[in-house]
Amino acid sequence: MADSGAHAAGALRRVIGRKVLVLFVVGDILGAGIYALVGQVAGEVGGAIWLPFLIAFVLAALTATSYAELVGKYPRAAGAALYVNRAFGVPFVTFIVAFTVMMSGITSASAAARAFGGRYLAEFVTLPVLVGALIFLGLVTVVNFAGISESMRVNVTLTLIEAFGLLVIIAIGGWALLTGDGEPGRALEFHPQTGALMGALGGTALAFYALLGFEDSVNLAEEAREPARDYPFALFGGLAVAVVIYMAVAFTATMLVPTERLRASTGPLLEVVEVAGLAFPPKLFALIALLAVGNTALINMIMASRLVYGMARERIVPGVFAVVHPTRSTPWPAILFTVALAVLLVSTGEVGGLADTTVLLLLCVFAVVNICVLVLRRDRVEHRHYRAPTWMPVLGAVASLFLASPLTGRDAEVYLRAAVLVALGAALWLINRVIVGKIDHIDPAKISTDR
């Protein structure tokens, strides 16, 4: 098979193999979602927490087929904006997609910050949730300004820590089954008010947040040895590993902790540890959870600020955001802009609402990506690559639009928040267009467009 992108002078080196790609996908998925949202999902669906995670996996796999085809076809590190740009070639549409992805990163970081300031932090210090979240955002900003960004080594280390915490929960569940503790039958109970169907839909909209991250792996497209061959395996394999872990964790949580207690907790997995027959130090688990939640926020804020910087460098938002600190070499105006938005969101939203806003924004992006893969079928490339069965992107687009619709019972404030954030992007575009004039072209490769 012909190499889909030979190494050239100044290009990134193709050194990442299939196993590392799978680990990267799993690492990007694991994090704040499962540690923070098990209780929120329980509030929607009742005891059958595992079901929304299963449905979310099926729906995410549909969109993953589109990403697998597109990243194999265009192995460049630019993500959704690249695909939209190639499919439609309209600078404003490309920008809105990139900006929407960026905003999803900020809302995701804000949800993680609220989770950080909750029950897990209370194991060490008692603070109001908002105060803990704002202090955490301050620490994230300091790290971001200092110029520390993610690396593959850090990603692998934190992946192992996050996975270890979840394996502890699974081990607790296994022990409970062996000793006859807990109530396994609770896993088949649904919320009495919403019922099975609406509860599953509402829970799925939240559970989808826990599976986000698989799309980030396209940022490694230019460094993968065989992207056309390895990405389908990595995307589907990583999603499968993550959902098996999530379903086991969800089953354990609902088996050992009453639904109302899970629903009321901002650290639901710590509730599992505290009632477990298999002893594990609660403070140690709280630390693991804080690292998992903190990593989600840190990565998202670093990526969001760099994306703003990249768009300013391309002259599609005001150029002030492209200013770099003379000694730290970090885009400090972009950092301040993104953290200001995060502070506003943290101050006005709860974990569930912020997570749901993240999901809503990315579902809209996923719907567009699923349409792009069909439009780009007319664009032939010389190398072989994975081709998604046509029905999967079609169903993926329909499913994404359905989950983004009010039919899932999503609160009106989530739509309002998302609309305001996207409108902010449109306003920045218009202001900049008045300043610099008509924008004829955007190079998506020069901006980092995934969270």
pLDDT digits (tens, 9 = 90+) for 337-350: 999 999 999 988 88
Distance CA 164, CA 360 (A): 30
**Mean pLDDT over residues 80-86, rounded?**
84
- pLDDT-wise least confident of 51-60, 242-251, 298-307: 298-307
What integer is the mean pLDDT of 133-142? 86
The band of 105, judged by pLDDT with boundaries at 50, 70 and 90, is confident
Looking at domain 18-446, its CATH class is mainly alpha
pLDDT at 252: 94
Percent of the chain surpassing pLDDT 70: 88
Of 116-125, 173-182, 312-321, 438-447, the range with the lowest mean pLDDT is 438-447
Closest CA to 262 of 193, 191, 363, 162: 191
Distance CA 154, CA 431 (A): 38
- The three-class DSSP label of residue 16 is strand
If one compares 394 and 13, the residue with the highest pLDDT of the two is: 394
Is the pLDDT confidence value at 216 over 60? yes
Is residue 192 scored above 70 in pLDDT?
no
For residue 365, pLDDT beyond 90: yes
Whether residue 137 is predicted with pLDDT greater than 50 in this model: the reply is yes
Q: Averaged over 172-183, what is the pLDDT?
A: 89
Q: Which residue has the higher pLDDT, 385 or 10?
A: 385
What's the pLDDT at 259?
87
Which band of pLDDT confidence, cut at 50, 70 and 90, is reported for residue 11?
Answer: very low
Tell me the pLDDT band of 292, cut-offs 50, 70 and 90: confident
Interval 32-43: pLDDT, tens: 788 888 888 888
Convert the pLDDT of each residue in 222-276 to its tens digit. 667 777 788 888 889 989 999 999 999 999 999 999 988 988 888 899 999 988 8
- What is the percent of the chain where pLDDT is above 90? 28
Q: What is the pTM of this model?
A: 0.85
Give 391's contacts (C-beta < 8 A, 6+ positions apart): none
Predicted confidence at residue 264, as pLDDT, reads: 87
More reliable by pLDDT, 92 or 198: 92
Q: Name the β-bridge partners of 16.
A: 224
Span of 201-210, 280-289, 325-334 with lowest mean pLDDT: 325-334
Residues 272 and 289: their CA atoms lie apart, in Å, by 13
Low-confidence winner among 89-93, 306-310, 383-387 (lowest mean pLDDT): 306-310
**What is the sign, positive or negative, of the torsion defined by CA atoms of 387, 391, 397, 402?**
negative
Pairwise CA distance, residues 28 & 22, whole Å: 10
Mean pLDDT throughout 4-11? 43
- Choice between 156 and 9, residue whose per-residue pLDDT is larger: 156
Residue 1 has pLDDT above 60, yes or no: no
Which pLDDT value is given to residue 156? 65
**What's residue 247's pLDDT?**
93
- pLDDT confidence band for 77 (50 / 70 / 90): low
Provide the token pair at 428: 């920045």
- Assigned token pair, 399: 């499913």
Q: What is the mean pLDDT of residues 99-109?
A: 89
The count of residues in the chain is 451
**100, 365 Cβ separation under 8 angstroms:** yes
Q: Across the chain, what does the average pLDDT equal? A: 83
At 141 the pLDDT is 83
Answer yes or no: is pLDDT of 167 > 70: yes
Residue 222: predicted pLDDT: 65
Tokens of 176: 């409970």
Q: How confident is the model at residue 154 (pLDDT cuts 50, 70, 90)?
A: low
> What is the predicted pLDDT for the residue at 14?
65
Residue whose token pair is 């969101």: 345
